[in-house]
Amino acid sequence: MMNCVIIDDEPLAREGLASYVREVDFLNLTGTCENPLELIKLLDREAIDLIFLDIQMPKMNGIDFLKIMQKPPMVIITTAYPSYALEGFQLNVLDYLLKPITFDRFFKSANKAKDYHRLLCNSVQPGAPKTETDEGYFFIKCGNKYEKIYFDEILYVEGMQNYVTIFTTKAKYVTLLNLKSLEQNLDSKLFIRVHKSYIVSTGKIDGIEGNDIFIGQHRVPISRNYREQVIQQVVTNKLWDKIKFS
């Protein structure tokens, strides 16, 4: 069950979405708000998993609200304005629903949120003690199939909007998950962010040349913002630059 909240300044729009929520058995409507400022008060009292967020509202619009939120819950935009789609996805919204919203489209979006929520809940937390069910792997959903991914088989991960492609020694897997969320569930001693769109396994790195990392036949770019950290963590601590012979 996911707790959700609706933010929209139009009463009819709020009621329409609320009626959809009541039809979905895994959604629990925690509250409705006329503007984002009301949500801030609600977040202090309730644990919210999902926000249905309008954009054009008085006092503060939805995009501005997302920009100031530190760690927002999952967000599905609900708006009559398609022009905000790119900016919304750059802020890692889960989906973008254009009004008038049909129940079929709403239900597909809600299921996307359910899958994403399950992934977050089932991910192995870095540093967590091992249990009988925690043996160095996790599951992701690829299409209609759940795939087991072993941490020690990951070569690197590429992120694109709300999807990631996980490259392993066996295959590559595409799943609904943003790169930042995945990074939070990887051991920082074993994986390192090298670019806004890439995370690599430090143990799988074969070499670094210029702004490229080589992992087998793969080439992964290093961005300027991460280069110093990568060199320090991956190379400097393991560099044999002076070998003394007795």
| 200-243 residue pLDDT tens | 999 999 999 889 999 999 999 999 888 888 888 888 767 766 55
The pLDDT value recorded for residue 125 is 42
Per-residue confidence band for 131, with pLDDT thresholds at 50, 70 and 90:
very low
Cα–Cα dist 165/18, whole Å: 34
Cα–Cα dist 18/11, whole Å: 10
Cα–Cα dist 10/26, whole Å: 25
Q: What is the mean pLDDT of residues 37-53?
A: 84
Residue at 127 is within a domain: no
Per-residue confidence band for 134, with pLDDT thresholds at 50, 70 and 90:
very low
Residues 159 and 205 in one domain: yes
Query: How many separate domains does the chain show?
Result: 2
Cα–Cα dist 93/178, whole Å: 10
Residues 16 and 109 in one domain: yes
The pLDDT value recorded for residue 54 is 93
- Can you give the residue range of the structural domain that contains 62? 2-122
| 74-126 residue pLDDT tens | 899 999 988 877 777 777 788 899 999 999 999 999 998 888 777 666 544 43
- Percent of the chain at pLDDT > 70 equals 89
Per-residue confidence band for 129, with pLDDT thresholds at 50, 70 and 90:
very low
CATH code (residue 74): 3.40.50.2300
Query: What single string gives the DSSP state of each residue in 52-119?
Result: EE-SS-SSS-HHHHHHH-SS--EEEEEES-GGGHHHHHHTT-SEEEESSPPHHHHHHHHHHHHHHHHH
- 105-116 burial, b at 16+ Cβ within 10 Å, e below that, comes to ebeebbebbbeb
Per-residue confidence band for 146, with pLDDT thresholds at 50, 70 and 90:
confident
Residues 101 and 142 in one domain: no
Predicted TM-score (pTM) of the model is 0.54
Boundary-marking domain end, from 96, 122, 148 = 122
| 5-26 residue pLDDT tens | 999 999 999 999 999 999 999 9
The continuous run of DSSP H or E covering 165 comes out as strand 163-168
Residues 48 and 151 in one domain: no
Per-residue confidence band for 132, with pLDDT thresholds at 50, 70 and 90:
very low
Angle at 245 between CA 244 and CA 246, to 5 degrees: 120
Residues 57 and 94 in one domain: yes
Boundary-marking domain end, from 122, 149, 183 = 122
